[in-house]
Amino acid sequence: MIENINTSKEWNELRELVGGLIESYFLTFRELSWKRYNDKDKIYKECDTHLGAELADNFENITNIDKYFSSGAIGAIEEQLLLAKQEKLFQESHVQVEKEHYSRNIKNGIDDMLRQIEKIKQNEAYKKGDKL
């Protein structure tokens, strides 16, 4: 008998990993509206907010996890995070206008979300995702 991928141990682990990615996203961007947003980081707020909105667009199918994976959202999220990280690295090696940088908390959040995505990509149910 073939095990249904949607009820397998790997699938349940995958759901938890996706939950971790979403949690990381919200923990990263929730501080943007807090009064304690570091004065030093306020110059980054516009770019931080823009990145948060772009990433949110890729989470639109999260309530239907099958469609979420078949839509390629993980790949789109990873691509945006990597572009943001590369942009930051490029900006650090060249003098740029300060507002084009991301705050250090967003950089840390990007790294955390990329680690979550790597865990997702190692999950067996995700590897079988093209068969969903």
What whole-number distance in Å separates Cα of residue 115 and Cα of residue 26? 15
Our measurement of the distance from residue 38's CA atom to the centroid of its chain's CA atoms, rounded to an integer in Å, reads 22
What whole-number distance in Å separates Cα of residue 61 and Cα of residue 15? 13
User: What is the pTM for the complete model shown?
Assistant: 0.76
Q: Which residues of the chain have pLDDT under 70?
A: 1-7, 33-41, 61-71, 88-100, 129-132
Q: What is the pLDDT of residue 1?
A: 39
Q: What is the pLDDT of residue 51?
A: 87
Helix axes 73-93, 45-57, angle to 10 degrees: 160
CB 59 within 8 A of CB 28: no
